[in-house]
Amino acid sequence: MPKNKKDDTSDSDSGPDDRIPVKKSKGDGDTKSTTNKNGEPEWQLDRNRKITVSEFKNKVYVNVREYYEKDGKELPGKKGISLTVPQWKKLLESADEVNEAIKKF
């Protein structure tokens, strides 16, 4: 049975636990980097999405992830992606073409 788009604003099947938006912070709309509790640089995309740069098993990743609030703590949700540095660079190389495609809509 298809879901009504008004009832479900999620883009994935990740479940309700990551649909609770993080409360709006003072930094919303600000594109400057801050440092998270792990000492990693992060950028706020909107009220519940962030970009972070982290290291895992001696590899650097660029993470774009949704966050939610539980018991007063900001936690990463299931929805997101981790890109290796070569993948991130390829994404940036595609940015101009993507912007041109967006203009067509």
Q: Would you kindly state where each structural domain of the chain is located, as residue ranges? A: 18-103
pLDDT in the model for residue 25 = 46
Residues of the chain with pLDDT under 70: 1-31
pLDDT of residue 30: 53
Q: What CATH topology corresponds to 18-103?
A: Transcriptional Co-activator pc4; Chain A (2.30.31)
pLDDT at 96: 96
CA distance 33 to 27: 10
Determine phi and psi for 38, rounding to 5 degrees. -90, 5
pLDDT at res. 38: 87
* E strands present in 1-105: 34-35, 41-46, 49-56, 59-70, 73-84
Gap between the Cα atoms of 38 and 63, Å rounded: 14
Q: Which helix (H) or strand (E) holds 93?
A: helix 85-93
Distance from C-alpha of 70 to C-alpha of 3, rounded to nearest angstrom: 26
